[in-house]
């Protein structure tokens, strides 16, 4: 398998963490796609992923799977013993619900803030920017942090008693928040404590030290 990504990217981090959790690092070749050069928007890459986003998984039969949730679902099911996406119908429903909320309320708003209210990936990539919209999305992300703080006051992980894809999505959001200097509010003590624990998890701590990506061809 191949993973097309950008090593320090918050969305690629989600799949890198999932790979480590499932002990699949040795089965994957990483291929570097340079975001700052806009390689993810060029025809060669769009042929692999219509939405022009990272990461993308390429299977041995030539199938391309985009979207972090879909990639994680695939990886989690390979050994017939899912640990990240839920085992029972109830677990699956809760994990997917909380992961989607993490995208809608935290990770994606931070991404919009980055692309619209900061220099983002630079003038050659950020062709259109709406700073006001970006700032509104930053505020939405801060509100989302308060929501997840409330969740983590009641339980050890985002979807309940076990580490899942929902936790990985929040981790991606907080990685992104750190990159764009949007700190977790001081009053969100449960979220901050949870994130400190997650940063000590080997799959999170070592996500960038996986095998060196090759250049995209």
Tens digits of residue pLDDT in 125-142: 999 999 999 999 999 999
Question: Can you read off the two tokens belonging to residue 134?
Answer: 């970006």
Same domain membership, residue 105 and residue 32: no
Question: Can you read off the two tokens belonging to residue 92?
Answer: 């699956």
Distance, in Å, from the CA atom of 5 to the CA atom of 52, rounded to the nearest integer, reads: 11
pLDDT grade, residue 208 (50/70/90)?
confident
Tens digits of residue pLDDT in 25-67: 999 999 999 999 999 999 999 999 999 999 999 999 999 999 9
Tally: H helices and E strands in the chain: 9, 5
pLDDT mean over 65-75: 98
Q: What proportion of the chain, given as a percentage, has pLDDT over 70?
A: 96
Model confidence at 217: pLDDT above 50: no
Model confidence at 5: pLDDT above 80: yes
**CB 165, CB 95: distance < 8 Å:** yes
Same domain membership, residue 94 and residue 6: no
Same domain membership, residue 191 and residue 122: yes
The mean pLDDT value of the chain amounts to: 95
pLDDT at 216: 58
pLDDT mean over 74-87: 97
Same domain membership, residue 109 and residue 72: no
Same domain membership, residue 69 and residue 123: no
Same domain membership, residue 99 and residue 195: yes
**CB 84, CB 71: distance < 8 Å:** no
Tens digits of residue pLDDT in 166-183: 999 999 999 999 999 999
Helix (H) or strand (E) holding 206: none
CA dihedral (83, 103, 29, 57) positive or negative: positive
pLDDT at 210: 54
Question: Can you read off the two tokens belonging to residue 168?
Answer: 């990985």
Which alpha helices (H) appear in 53-117, and where do they start and end?
68-77, 89-102, 108-117
Q: How far is CA 183 from CA 86, 100, 105, 134, in A?
A: 30, 22, 15, 16
pLDDT mean over 203-215: 73
CATH number, position 15? 3.40.30.10
pLDDT at 166: 98
pLDDT grade, residue 211 (50/70/90)?
low
pLDDT mean over 106-131: 96
By residue range, what is the domain housing residue 148?
89-202
Helix (H) or strand (E) holding 65: strand 64-66
pLDDT mean over 186-202: 98
Count the domains in the chain.
2
pLDDT mean over 5-25: 96
**CB 33, CB 40: distance < 8 Å:** yes
List the beta bridge partners of residue 57. Answer: 3, 65
Same domain membership, residue 151 and residue 63: no
Same domain membership, residue 103 and residue 32: no
Distance, in Å, from the CA atom of 107 to the CA atom of 122, rounded to the nearest integer, reads: 20
CATH number, position 140? 1.20.1050.10
């Amino acid at each position: 398998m191949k993973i097309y990504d950008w090593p320090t990217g918050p969305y690629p981090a989600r799949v890198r963490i999932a790979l480590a959790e499932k002990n699949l690092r040795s089965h994957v070749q990483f291929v570097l796609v340079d975001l700052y050069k806009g390689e993810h928007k060029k025809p060669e890459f769009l042929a692999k992923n219509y939405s022009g986003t990272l990461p993308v998984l390429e299977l041995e039969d030539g199938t391309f799977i985009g979207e972090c949730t879909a990639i994680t679902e695939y990886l989690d099911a390979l050994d017939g013993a899912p640990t990240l996406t839920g085992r029972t119908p109830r677990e699956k429903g809760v994990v997917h619900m909380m992961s989607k909320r993490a995208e809608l309320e935290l990770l994606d708003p931070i991404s919009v803030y980055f692309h619209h209210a900061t220099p983002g990936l630079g003038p050659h990539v950020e062709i259109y920017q709406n700073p006001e919209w970006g700032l509104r999305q930053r505020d939405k992300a801060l509100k989302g942090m308060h929501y997840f703080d409330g969740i983590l006051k009641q339980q050890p992980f985002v979807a309940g008693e076990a580490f899942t894809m929902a936790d990985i999505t929040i981790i991606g959001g907080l990685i992104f928040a750190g990159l764009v200097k949007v700190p977790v509010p001081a009053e969100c003590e449960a979220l901050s404590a949870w994130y400190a624990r997650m940063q000590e998890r080997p799959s999170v701590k070592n996500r960038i030290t996986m095998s060196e990506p090759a250049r995209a061809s």
